[in-house]
Amino acid sequence: MIKRFLKWLFRYWLIWDIEPPDLEEEDMGPYTWKEFVAECLGVAIDFDNMYGAQCVDVVRYYWNKVLGLTRAQQPNTTPSGGAKDLINNVRSPLRVRATTEEPRPGDVVVWGAVQGNPWGHTALVIAVEPGNITVMDQDGLDPKAVCRKKIYARNNRIAGYITHTAA
Ligand SMILES: [Ca+2]
């Protein structure tokens, strides 16, 4: 009983500050935004069953389960195979939100390559603060990766945000 209560409390703590995206969720995917966030945090997500729990798995799982997008409707990662190329392959009903605009919860953020990581990085924005974004992400270079909450500075390494045209 106490264990179940603590588990509920922990789940509530994980999602209490999550802001909803500006989307009509009906007629999209099978999960609501909050259901998705609550299910994924603390879990290793390997949605494509390849290369373990990568950053891209979180984003593709979100696009599929919340926005209802098939794999063919989602941007691919050509030519590098890395997350950095998602931004160059966006098609409707997704669109790119420039870094000069304010990101929104539900946006997917894409970072370019850095030294030691030629593939870039991607994550799902769950809260926006002045100067920072809080995201859900996984580190594909970490073999024990689980989906976690992390704060990143909104600096110039961000290549852009991918949002839904309905948002
Ligand atoms: Ca994977």
Task: Tell me, in angstroms, the distance from the centre of ligand 1 to residue 131's CA.
Answer: 30
Task: Tell me, in angstroms, the distance from the centre of ligand 1 to residue 6's CA.
Answer: 31
Domains annotated for the chain, with CATH where assigned, are: 2-164 (3.90.1720.60)
Task: Tell me, in angstroms, the distance from the centre of ligand 1 to residue 100's CA.
Answer: 31
Quote the pLDDT of residue 5: 81
**Beta-strand (E) ranges in the chain?**
94-97, 108-111, 121-129, 132-137, 148-153, 158-164
> For the segment 15-48, what is each residue's pLDDT rounded down to a tens digit?
666 776 776 666 688 998 888 988 999 999 999 9
Residue 159 CB contacts under 8 Å (≥ 6 apart), including other chains: 84, 87, 99, 110, 111, 112, 120
Quote the pLDDT of residue 27: 66
Task: Tell me, in angstroms, the distance from the centre of ligand 1 to residue 44's CA.
Answer: 10
Q: What is the mean pLDDT of residues 99-110?
A: 94
Reported as a pLDDT band with limits 50, 70 and 90, residue 7 is confident
**Beta-strand (E) ranges in 76-166?**
94-97, 108-111, 121-129, 132-137, 148-153, 158-164
Task: Tell me, in angstroms, the distance from the centre of ligand 1 to residue 56's CA.
Answer: 7
